[in-house]
Amino acid sequence: MHSTAFREQFTDVTDACALAQGIVDTVREPVLVLDKELRVVAASRSFYSAFKVSPEHTQGRHLYALGDGQWDIPKLRELLEKIIPQHGVMEGYEVEHEFPDLGHRRICLNARQVFYEHGAGATILLGMEDVTERHALEREKDGLLRQKDVLLDELQHRISNSLQIIASIILMKAKTVDSEETRAYLQDAHKRVMSVAAVQRQLHGTGASGPIEMVPYLSRLCETLATSMIGDTRPISLKVVGEGGSATSRQAESLGLIVTELVMNALKHAFPDDKIDCRISVAYEVHGTNWKLSVADNGVGKPDGVFAQSKTGLGTGIVKALAQQLGATVETVAGLVGTTVAITHATFATDAVHAA
């Protein structure tokens, strides 16, 4: 309603006061109307109910005298005597106080100074919201989140130790068997267990509860793989390229396992000779919510029509299964020099074409 129409409808002072009181009583949160001397002109029904006071002990009395001085609060004085006169309005101003009948409460205050056209003294509208329970719930939530983080750290620590024990047992068994074929399988299983342990360590280091920044995560993972699988005896470089992009902990774990499998496969098949400049490159591209992961080497590639990285076998099956879980496709491209395996999110290529 426009101000002119409002004045025309409520020309009678009594009617205007009745409307004002009705508005105050309608508000769910406690509300006080104070004059310039901070005496109570009107109070909402919710104020009387929330603070257990009566109208006869409230209206016309000074705010600081209400309830035997329970509203004589230093921060409230600061709000009403300093902040409001200077700024005219204040929202979300919290005070804490021990009320005789209510106990310790945290009150969120909203205050506004109202001026009148014909010289009447200004009044202050003071709205209150009891946020004690909300803050208690927030503290409880924060405590539960901290407890969850502690339990998650303990679980990850136990998983890491268990994987190390399993890997050690497999390696010990590999040293005792007579069959070269069985020994090779056990050594391969040992590497895979160690790769899972490496992925878990990197996720734990980045804080697995939130989004994982993929390029730093893959870089740390590949540094671990280079140390454990390449060492100083083989002239092979392993690097990660890419910018931006994040994933959930579960997605990052699957992508880390894919990278580990493809790096292991490249180390096993791509460099049979003592080549000097051996390189494996891991790239992570992002387009909107879609992504593309690729692992490329400059190894033997496709000699005599045979892929350097096998299309069959346990490692290939693991990569395809993980890619399927991620809604991605697997493509292997091999030339005379080098092989590239790309894991592409199903809509990456389509979206990239549309964007262009």
DSSP 3-state assignment of 302? coil
Residue 293: the pLDDT is 93
- d(C-alpha 198, C-alpha 271), whole Å: 23
Residue 302: the pLDDT is 60
- d(C-alpha 297, C-alpha 11), whole Å: 86
Residue 233: the pLDDT is 66
Structure tokens of 106? Answer: 């945290």
Residue 305: the pLDDT is 41
CA–CA–CA angle 336, 338, 339 (5° rounding): 110
In Å, how far are 135, 246, 259 from 142, measured between CA atoms?
10, 25, 36
Residue 343: the pLDDT is 93
- d(C-alpha 90, C-alpha 76), whole Å: 12
Structure tokens of 257? Answer: 């396992």
Q: What is the pLDDT along the chain (356 residues), one digit of tens a residue?
A: 444 544 555 455 555 566 566 666 667 788 888 888 888 888 888 888 888 888 888 888 898 888 778 888 888 888 888 888 888 888 888 888 888 777 888 888 888 887 766 656 678 888 888 888 888 888 888 888 887 777 666 666 666 667 667 777 777 778 888 888 888 888 778 777 776 777 766 666 555 456 888 898 888 888 888 877 776 667 788 899 987 788 888 888 889 889 988 988 888 888 877 677 888 999 999 887 789 999 999 888 765 444 445 555 667 788 888 899 899 999 988 877 789 999 998 654 444 444 44
Residue 356: the pLDDT is 44
- d(C-alpha 46, C-alpha 25), whole Å: 7
